[in-house]
Amino acid sequence: MAKDTKYIFVTGGVLSSLGKGLASAAIGALLESRGLTVTIQKLDPYINVDPGTMNPFQHGEVFVTDDGTETDLDLGHYERFTHAKMGKNNNFTTGKIYHSVITKERKGDYLGGTVQVIPHITDEIKNSVKLAANDVDVLIVEIGGTIGDIESLPFLEAIRQFRADVGKENSLYIHLTLVPYISTAGEVKTKPTQHSVKELRSIGIQPDILLCRTDRFLSKDIKAKISLFCNVSVDAVITAKDVDHIYEVPLIFHQEGLDDQIIELLNIWTRNPQLDNWEELIKKIKAPKHSVTIAVVGKYVDLTESYKSLNEALCHGGISNDCKVNLNFIDSEKLDSGTCIQMLADAEGILVPGGFGQRGIEGKICAANFARVNKVPYFGICLGMQIAVIEFARHVAGLENANSSEFDANTPYPVIYLMREWFDERSQTVQRRDDLSDKGATMRLGAYSCHIENNSFASQAYQKEDISERHRHRYEFNNEFMDQLKEKGMIVSGASPNGELVEIIEIGDHPWFLGCQFHPEFKSRPMEPHPLFRDFIGASLRNSQSRNQQ
């Protein structure tokens, strides 16, 4: 921890889904635009030690960091909005905190004392906060959940104590609330905000700044009313107005004077904010010259939260092609060789994202087949790459019933399988797995290097030979089938530096067909769109233009 790090704690009131994660990320962006270094941490009140095993239906995407931590999807926003690199210290859950305290207690570290929420759990939380602060000017800490929840109380108590520890000039409480417009009354209502702040004050936290989520700019009078009832200065009542696009949030906050308030209250001297790049970005997003329709063939099609980073990366790919990307989520269970033609007819590019479990697998194979045969640009990510390999093995190499051993343990041709032994670059150890291996422990997680072959879609995109990308999967390409598949035209354009693990496959004689074992979406940013997404959208756009000419 740098000695003079300042802390901003972001809490949320009234109801969930007000955009606390985005607000925290946007605050980070604003402070960076003033030349400060920042990082962001999320404290999650749930008991799971990490979100790795949580169902995407319930919790949305699991975001993966370079160091292989499976985290809350808000960390994806933090990386997309700022230059902060997320890692294991950027996400703590109640489970992780208790796990650590209980482990210490079992080891006898508390010397026989009674272990209690205050001070042992709260001390553990405060230490975890400090762990994330390494050498940045400002650490922004987002507290998950809503004020009033029982389970977030230890976190709130810990951040309350924090101010006593580091002083008022080094800590700031920002509270996000809702100011709804009630159409029957014809006005916005401040009562939910008043109640939420009252609740926060009852546990000893007086917010310094209020972010009021609303669909319109708040008038001076309303701000004055909120200021009076909530004991917050009127300049610190900020309209967090709904926006068309998430990347507008930093600009709206700036317009409302949020960054001025923050640096004043924290007594920081900075340069004026430079937000030209954000303004430029919004201009591009709002008036694209072209548009393209991409079919995303997956399982969680009703809950696009589970593909958060993917959706963002596709949007970034659009920005770099001056193009709006329309996403058409297709439930792979509804796809078969009959329905494919109709359901994918409008798709100018087809993407099969990551996934686990057998449901909808055959539909995804149909989609890959449709893309390959009809020369529609195809992008397979993780499971999507494995699907492309299975499709190619079955229909080009003639390996009937080829499959991944994840979906068919008895397939005669396990072209994707659980590798028994492999050298793990990150831990520098030989890893061994078998069918009984513990679920979480057997995943290949986090950043791994990949060497790229020349004259490939991959080399065209990356324009370099050595890259690093993030992984989250158990199964791998089976090298036993490598020669056979290559002979039939499959190209292995990326592999681990020792050649053991296949990372990228392609199909030649196609406008763009690429599958990667890693998740490139985790590293795409609005200002630096990921090269694979850029080129996939580029190829889809060319496809769209040539269709229009016909």
Q: Which residues of this chain interact with ligand GLN, rule CB under 6 A? A: 354-356, 382-383, 406, 472-475
Is 519 one of the annotated active-site residues of the chain?
yes
List Cα–Cα distances, 412 to 320, 363, 497, in angstroms.
43, 20, 29
CB of 355 to ligand GLN, least distance (A): 5
Secondary structure (3-state) at 23: helix
Parallel, antiparallel, or unpaired for β 6-12 and 138-143?
Answer: parallel
Secondary structure (3-state) at 42: strand
Which residue in this structure is represented by tokens 């650590």? 100
List Cα–Cα distances, 175 to 142, 191, 334, 475, 505, in angstroms.
10, 15, 44, 43, 47
Q: Which is nearer to ligand GLN, 173 or 513 (CB)?
A: 513
CA–CA distance, 382 with 379 (Å, rounded to integer)? 10
Please give the sequence-ordered ranges of beta strands (E in DSSP) within 167-322, or none if there are none: 171-178, 181-182, 187-188, 209-214, 237-241, 290-298
Q: Are 196 and 14 in contact (CB under 8 A)?
A: yes
CB of 486 to ligand GLN, least distance (A): 21
CB of 45 to ligand GLN, least distance (A): 27
Q: Which is nearer to ligand GLN, 96 or 474 (CB)?
A: 474
Is 382 one of the annotated active-site residues of the chain?
yes
Q: Which is nearer to ligand GLN, 308 or 472 (CB)?
A: 472
Q: Which is nearer to ligand GLN, 26 or 382 (CB)?
A: 382
CB of 383 to ligand GLN, least distance (A): 3
Question: Of the residues 59, 175, 519, 530, which is catalytic?
Answer: 519
DSSP annotation of 118: I
Q: Which is nearer to ligand GLN, 22 or 367 (CB)?
A: 367
CB of 311 to ligand GLN, least distance (A): 16
Q: Which is nearer to ligand GLN, 139 or 383 (CB)?
A: 383
CA–CA distance, 367 with 351 (Å, rounded to integer)? 9
Q: Which is nearer to ligand GLN, 355 or 446 (CB)?
A: 355
CA–CA distance, 157 with 330 (Å, rounded to integer)? 45
**Nearest Cα residue to 41 out of 4, 74, 69, 80:** 74
- Token readout for 454 is 């020349």
Question: Of the residues 366, 382, 450, 516, which is catalytic?
Answer: 382
Report the 10 Å Cβ neighbour count for 142: 29
CB of 546 to ligand GLN, least distance (A): 31
CA–CA distance, 225 with 223 (Å, rounded to integer)? 5
- 156 phi and psi angles, rounded to 5 deg: -70, -40
Q: Are 238 and 212 in contact (CB under 8 A)?
A: yes
Q: Which is nearer to ligand GLN, 354 or 377 (CB)?
A: 354
Secondary structure (3-state) at 320: coil
HSE of 308, CA atoms in CB hemisphere, 13 A: 24
Is 323 one of the annotated active-site residues of the chain?
no
**Nearest Cα residue to 353 out of 532, 526, 480:** 532
CB of 473 to ligand GLN, least distance (A): 3
CA–CA distance, 98 with 435 (Å, rounded to integer)? 31
**Nearest Cα residue to 443 out of 407, 404, 475, 406:** 475
Q: Are 472 and 445 in contact (CB under 8 A)?
A: yes
CB of 327 to ligand GLN, least distance (A): 18
Positions marked catalytic: 382, 519, 521
